[in-house]
Amino acid sequence: MEGATPVDGSPSCSHIESLPWLVRYNVMVRLDLSDLNALARASPILYRQVKQDRPRILYGELKTMLGNTLVDAYAVYQTSRPPFTTVIRNTEVVQPFLESYANKLQTEKAGPSLGDLSEEAIVAMWTFQTTIVAPIVEVFARWTLGNISNLVETQDYEVSWPPDGDGPHASHLEIELSATERMRILRGMYRFQLYCHLFGARCRGKPRFGYPYIELIDVIGLVHDLFEPWEFEEFVCIQWYARMKWKHICTTFGDEINETSPLFEEVSPPPPYGKRLSASGSGTASRGLRPLHAILFVGGDHAHRIKLMHEVLAWPTEEYIDFSRVSPYWQFSHRKTNRSERDWKEFRREPLPFNGDGESDQSNLRPPAAWVMLWEGKYSNIRFFDNDLLVWGYVMWDRDRIDSTGAEKITFSQRLEPLPLGNLDYSSSEEEEEEDDYIEPYYYSDELEDDESASLETGS
């Protein structure tokens, strides 16, 4: 093998072959999958070792990249396969899976072991993380940090948590993420993807209008208490980001999509022009991160982009709830008859101080700085209620970044007043409760979002 072509940037195969097995392994763990495959093709000796060690190598990389989010990544992998892709995703299918997933979140923090995973699962998870999720993490970070800068510079906010120091000017934003910030964004993205697998559109197909397979109030019940409320907001931040991106993308292509997309040929009679573009944006967002990655990073000319849009656009499913648009009424309706221990913590107004940035555990909850600021150091189980917070991904950031960017100037006091903190009886009279039963729609109007989406960009 003396004349073998070396892998780009690595020693020649003959040099690697001459190394002891353990040293060769240590070289391999520093290569990406394409380089490992090149080694395997170049040498029978290295082929045998790559074949033997590839699952262990990739699993180690996954653990390093994902940490405790490996639990969520494996749930995403499981729901990308049968039965979730071949049967109706009704309560009988979704509920047992979510109960098992919730148990794993509590008992298997480190995620599945190497022995629990097939090589196919490991390769699929590694590929999804490195080719789809990781690039979107960077785009999301730039977008939300830019929004912090715009908010701080263009509006006069009251200081609600004085920073430790003045810090750099808000326009000088660092994109480098701390380990905790990256973990929060990753966790939000994987949980968004999991939610899309369970309730979103699988592909572009004929729309299904009518009764959902799972009632909307039951969907809220299934997902509401899976996570701590600030972790739920991580997921909603990603959901809001995906919807606003697709809304702006659909608006940008506008007439060309409306006039040429075969998606709209399947609807008779078609909904009004604006409504069907809005619905297709929401439906495409419900397909998860792959279509979003495709449109954010697509190359080629305008015609190629239009072709891609035709391939990825989808109608929303009836059971897919966009929590960034849902009125808090629906959460309160669920909590009237399904009060959890988290609800009672809120009722008792238990202290929830800022315990530093990092991973929570059973004995030490670590809510992000903005969440503690929002609820003034008290436990709250209220979530998905204000898009002004979602626009800058408020629960993603460490306290140092909150301080240094000037985001501490954003006051949250006015957001507390209309919400029924410390009160689990949300109706003051039978008349009010009866009136609540007729609140429609459960979504906020799209008209409220026109100004929000006007300045969003489709690229990175």
Question: What would the pLDDT profile of 342-396 be if each residue is shown by its tens digit?
Answer: 888 888 889 998 888 888 877 788 999 989 888 888 898 887 667 778 889 999 9
The predicted structure's pLDDT at residue 12:
57
**Domain layout of the chain by residue ranges:** 13-61, 62-460
pLDDT exceeds 90 at position 264 = no
Q: Are 395 and 365 in contact (CB under 8 A)?
A: no
Q: What does the block give as tokens for 391?
A: 């626009």
53 or 434, higher pLDDT: 53
Per-residue confidence band for 403, with pLDDT thresholds at 50, 70 and 90: confident
Cα separation, 24 vs 18, whole angstroms:
9
Average the pLDDT over 424-433 and give the result: 41
pLDDT score of 54 = 79
**412-427 mean pLDDT:** 49
Among 44-53, 221-230, 359-368, 437-446, which range has the highest average pLDDT? 221-230
Residue 67 has pLDDT above 70, yes or no: yes
Residue 133 pLDDT class (50, 70, 90 cuts): very high
Residue 443's DSSP bridge partners are 326
For the chain, percent of residues with pLDDT exceeding 70: 69
The reported pTM is: 0.81
User: pLDDT: is 388 or 52 the higher one?
Assistant: 388
Predicted local confidence at residue 21, as pLDDT? 66
Task: Quote the pLDDT of residue 458.
Answer: 38
Residues 198-225: what's their mean pLDDT? 81
Band (109; pLDDT cuts 50, 70, 90): confident
**Average pLDDT over every residue of 210-222:** 84
pLDDT at residue 197, rounded to an integer: 95
Contact of 5 with 21, CB cutoff 8 Å: no
What's the pLDDT score for residue 251?
79
- Span 273-299, mean pLDDT? 80
On the question of pLDDT at 3 being above 60, the answer is no
Rounded to an integer, the average pLDDT of 276-290 is: 82
CB-based burial label for 413 (10 Å; 0-12, 13-18, 19+):
exposed
The closest alpha carbon to 132, from 190, 182, 203, belongs to: 190
What pLDDT sits at residue 224? 85
Q: How far is CA 80 from CA 43, 74, 441, in A?
A: 34, 10, 31
272: pLDDT strictly greater than 60: no
Q: In the structure encoding, which two tokens stand for residue 368, read together?
A: 């992000």
C-alpha distance across the termini of the chain, in Å: 44
> What percentage of residues in the chain have a pLDDT greater than 90?
26
pLDDT band at 159 (very low <50, low <70, confident <90, very high): very low
Cα–Cα distance measured from residue 412 to residue 158, given in angstroms and rounded to the nearest whole number: 9
Q: What is the token pair recorded at 437?
A: 């039963």
- Give CA–CA dist 201/315, Å, rounded: 7
| Residue 95 confidence (pLDDT) | 94
| CA dist., res. 85 & res. 81, Å (int) | 6
Mean pLDDT lowest among 7-21, 107-121, 179-193: 7-21
What does the pLDDT read at residue 343? 87
Contacts from 177-180 at CB under 8 Å and sequence distance 24+? 177/137, 177/141, 178/357, 178/398, 178/400, 178/401, 180/357, 180/358, 180/359, 180/398
User: Residues 314, 205: contact at Cβ < 8 Å?
Assistant: yes
Alpha helices in 86-228 (DSSP H): 91-107, 119-128, 134-154, 179-199, 216-223
Distance, CA of 362 to CA of 352 (rounded, Å): 14
What does residue 326 show for φ and ψ, rounded to 5 degrees? Answer: -85, 135
Torsion of CA 19, 20, 23, 24, to 10 degrees: 60
Token pair for residue 379? Answer: 């436990």
Mean confidence (pLDDT) of the chain: 76
User: Residue 427 has what pLDDT?
Assistant: 42
Mean pLDDT of 203-213: 72
Instruction: Give the mean model confidence (pLDDT) for residues 17-39.
Output: 71
Tokens of 453: 């989406």
